Structure 1
């Protein structure tokens, strides 16, 4: 959840300052329509996933997918830190 919130903030910051663009066309549309909707989806979907994971018995493949998602979010976070270090 923390990674999703940080990712959302850095993405919003980068878009507003025109340092980056949103690569996902659906998220770009949502961002252009409603910044609050953008934050709600970017933070809300991981929260829903975490809630669902508490209601089921996670199987091995599910743990692998969640681990992969966390690694991906971490990679994106480091990308944000990298480009921010050049623009600030």
Structure 2
């Protein structure tokens, strides 16, 4: 059985997309993780950050765009 998309599910998807985008952007464009890992003593693990954070940012932006697109399509009468 197919689950109907309710406005609650769409708003939750939008919230997840926005929160993920903000967190990934903060970690990509500011040295938040570099400072945190350096303070904890895990600075050797910083080499993989670009391989993880940039695709994560792209995925969360995609989720946000999809949620906005779905909410606009559900608002327009067919």
Bigger relative contact order (CA 8 A; separation at least 6): 2
- How does the TM-score come out when normalised to structure 2? 0.44
Higher Rg: 2
